[in-house]
Amino acid sequence: MADPAAQNEALKQLLAACARRDSAAFGRLYEATSPKLFGVAMRILRREDWAEEVLQDCYVNIWNHASKYSAALSAPMTWMTSIVRNRCLDWLRRPNLEVVIESDEDGGNLIDAQASEDPGPLDNLSRASEARALADCLARLEAKQRQAVMLAFFDGLSHSELAAHLREPLGTVKTWVRRGLMQLKGCLGTTA
Amino acid sequence: MNYVRNPELIERLAAEYALGTLRGPARLRFARLARENAATARAVRAWENRLGPMSFAVREIRPHRRVWTAIQARLPAAGGAWDSLAFWRNLGLVASGCAAALLVAFVLRDPRFAPVPVEKIAAPSAQMQPAYVAVLSDKAGKVVLLAYADRHSDELWLKPNEMQSIDSAKQVFELWGLPTQPGGAPKSLGLIPTGDKRTIKLAAAADQALSDFPALAVSLEPAGGSKTGLPTGPVLYSGPCLKFW
């Protein structure tokens, strides 16, 4: 794990082996990646049972679609993380669910340490060398833009949830997000 | 709206899609567009690659081993789905502080408890009948089921301890043997009866029926048991199955 490039390469090999229906490689892929992907799902869904169900679906998908992964187009973790994030956001679309989320704010299944206010993502980010450019660019955003972008990404908050959380008008929050994203793009374009 | 002719709009929607703020029907429409239109797919991928590294900052949480068990059960049998090595390694790493899981990890790593050929099982005393013993616990580590079978008997005795209550008209607990060899699938050992008589008739004497399984698990199945030959419901309890000499 010390060398991200080597880890990246190892994960590419495992995905390639999964595409060849190598179930032992799939076991190793799960072992290497499930703590991160489960962390991503828990952070968005905040409920262990939901996150477990999403994780199951995603690994079945990863196994079934491993042959569609292209190492030239994206890093293995980015590809898998996108699958998990998309599934989590789909999950949150289920009817009647939003009511549950709100009423469950202090429920036993919530992991308090994973709350939105959890500090330090930027610190963690800058420690991973692959992510340093992104961390630098996030640090250059205005504080409110940065907060909105990070809450949306890490916690899966929608525009209206962001507005409620930040106690700002919806239109203001949408503008922060949009401008934050475009500035990130400009910044990353110059460092990439 | 014609998205495709509006690259700026596509760029903005791709960014919001990757960030997660594009929601509801708009998200579904955009996902469909990305499947059909290569330029849109590229824009989404570029944004996923830009923002993806943020996930490095998310704290890792090792999922409970039942997730892996459930994934294995959902893979097509042709996939050879039971990679026991990864399964057990994973089992060894579950939540520290979970005494039963640590015990399992300890036992499975200890060469004294490695599978022994049946003919080598010998008791330290003539008074002691060699047997198979399994200790199954729930996800919190509480022991919920003990199982015992004399090595020459096909009767597996069960002693439940506050197993979850179920509607026995609709549901049943099914007991599984979990194999060690790669590509092996879990094997049903039978349905756990309710009422006072808590024994399962094994397909053969314990020496044949249990010796291949270093662990047992209980899943919740519809009345009558799993129709697929593999666990279909949640795996509620699991634990090591050991030869007691």
Mutate to test the interface with B, among A11, A47, A59 (most CBs of B within 10 A): A59
pLDDT attached to residue B131: 87
In this predicted structure, the answer to whether residue A130 has a pLDDT above a threshold of 80 is no
**Three-state secondary structure call for residue A115:** coil
Q: How many CA atoms lie within 13 A of B222 on its CB side?
A: 6
Look at residue B140 and tell me if it is in a domain: yes
Instruction: Give the mean model confidence (pLDDT) for residues A21-50.
Output: 94
Q: Indicate if B90 and B177 belong to the same structural domain.
A: yes
Domains of chain A: total: 2
Least CB–CB distance from B53: residue in A28, A82, A130:
A130
* pLDDT tens per residue across span A44-73: 999 999 999 999 999 999 999 999 999 999
* Series of mean pLDDT values for 10-residue runs along chain B (245 residues): 76 96 92 92 94 90 90 62 38 35 45 49 66 87 89 90 86 87 76 82 89 86 87 84 81
Look at residue B78 and tell me if it is in a domain: no
Instruction: Give the mean model confidence (pLDDT) for residues A141-165.
Output: 93
Subunit contact A158:B67, Cβ cutoff 8 A: no
CA of B52: how far to CAs of A162, B48, B204, in Å? 20, 5, 53
Instruction: Give the mean model confidence (pLDDT) for residues A151-164.
Output: 94
Look at residue A43 and tell me if it is in a domain: yes
Q: Indicate if B26 and B91 belong to the same structural domain.
A: no
What gap in Å lies between CA B18 and CA B23, rounded to an integer?
11
Amino acid, res. A141:
L
- Give the number of residues written for chain B: 245
* pLDDT tens per residue across span B11-20: 999 999 999 9
Q: Indicate if B103 and B219 belong to the same structural domain.
A: yes
Q: Indicate if A2 and A22 belong to the same structural domain.
A: yes
Look at residue B1 and tell me if it is in a domain: no
Q: Indicate if A78 and A12 belong to the same structural domain.
A: yes
Subunit contact B86:A27, Cβ cutoff 8 A: yes
B224: contact with A, CB 8 A cutoff: no
Are A91 and A54 in contact by the 8 Å Cβ rule? The answer is yes
Take residue A10 and report the two structure tokens written for it: 């190892």
Share of chain A above pLDDT 90, in %: 66
User: Which of the listed residues A51, A74, A104 is the one where a domain comes to its end?
Assistant: A104
CA of B27: how far to CAs of A12, A70, A93, A106, B8, in Å? 29, 24, 10, 29, 17
- Chain B residue with Cα closest to A18: B79
In this predicted structure, the answer to whether residue A159 has a pLDDT above a threshold of 60 is yes
The string of DSSP letters for B8-58 reads HHHHHHHHHHHHT---HHHHHHHHHHHHH-HHHHHHHHHHHHHHGGGGGGS
What gap in Å lies between CA B44 and CA B152, rounded to an integer?
63
In this predicted structure, the answer to whether residue A35 has a pLDDT above a threshold of 90 is yes
Mutate to test the interface with A, among B23, B71, B82 (most CBs of A within 10 A): B71
Looking up residue A147, the CATH number of its domain turns out to be 1.10.10.10
Contacts of A130 in chain B (CB under 8 A): 53, 56
pLDDT tier at A149 (50, 70, 90 boundaries)?
very high
Instruction: Give the mean model confidence (pLDDT) for residues A166-191.
Output: 91
pLDDT attached to residue B98: 37
Look at residue A123 and tell me if it is in a domain: yes
Q: Indicate if B36 and B98 belong to the same structural domain.
A: no
Look at residue B220 and tell me if it is in a domain: yes
- Average pLDDT, rounded, for chain B: 78
Subunit contact A158:B21, Cβ cutoff 8 A: yes
B133: contact with A, CB 8 A cutoff: no
In this predicted structure, the answer to whether residue A10 has a pLDDT above a threshold of 60 is yes
In this predicted structure, the answer to whether residue A36 has a pLDDT above a threshold of 60 is yes
Q: Indicate if A35 and A100 belong to the same structural domain.
A: yes
Contacts of B19 in chain A (CB under 8 A): 149, 152-153, 177, 181
Which residues constitute the domain of residue B27? Answer: 7-57
Q: Indicate if A99 and A123 belong to the same structural domain.
A: no
Q: Indicate if B53 and B91 belong to the same structural domain.
A: no
What gap in Å lies between CA B53 and CA A72, rounded to an integer?
17
Subunit contact A152:B20, Cβ cutoff 8 A: yes
Look at residue A139 and tell me if it is in a domain: yes
Separation of first and last alpha carbons in chain B: 74
Looking up residue A76, the CATH number of its domain turns out to be 1.10.1740.10
What gap in Å lies between CA B223 and CA A95, rounded to an integer?
29
Q: Indicate if A35 and A84 belong to the same structural domain.
A: yes
φ, ψ for residue B240, nearest 5 deg: -70, 150
- Chain A residue with Cα closest to B91: A31
Look at residue A109 and tell me if it is in a domain: no
Look at residue A110 and tell me if it is in a domain: no
pLDDT attached to residue A7: 86
Q: Indicate if A58 and A100 belong to the same structural domain.
A: yes
Look at residue A7 and tell me if it is in a domain: yes
Mutate to test the interface with A, among B10, B58, B90 (most CBs of A within 10 A): B58
Whether pTM > 0.95 for this model: the answer is no
Subunit contact A134:B66, Cβ cutoff 8 A: no
Amino acid, res. A42:
M
Subunit contact A52:B52, Cβ cutoff 8 A: no
Which residues constitute the domain of residue A21? Answer: 1-104
- Average pLDDT, rounded, for chain A: 82
Neighbours of A3 (CB within 10 A): 10
Q: Indicate if B107 and B18 belong to the same structural domain.
A: no
Look at residue B224 and tell me if it is in a domain: yes
Look at residue A78 and tell me if it is in a domain: yes
pLDDT attached to residue B113: 47
List B residues 21-50 in contact with A (Cβ-Cβ < 8 A).
21, 23-24, 27, 31, 45, 48-50
Contacts of B67 in chain A (CB under 8 A): 34, 38, 52, 55-56
Take residue A192 and report the two structure tokens written for it: 């990439």
Least CB–CB distance from B86: residue in A28, A157, A184:
A28
What gap in Å lies between CA B121 and CA B125, rounded to an integer?
12
- The verdict on ipTM greater than 0.90 is no
Least CB–CB distance from B12: residue in A60, A158, A178:
A178
Of A59, A31, A56, the residue nearest B84 (C-alpha) = A31
Subunit contact B71:A59, Cβ cutoff 8 A: yes
- Chain A residue with Cα closest to B21: A158
pLDDT-wise least confident of A24-38, A84-98, A161-175: A84-98
Contacts of B55 in chain A (CB under 8 A): 36, 40, 77-78, 81
Are B75 and A63 in contact by the 8 Å Cβ rule? The answer is yes
Domains of chain B: total: 2
Look at residue A111 and tell me if it is in a domain: no
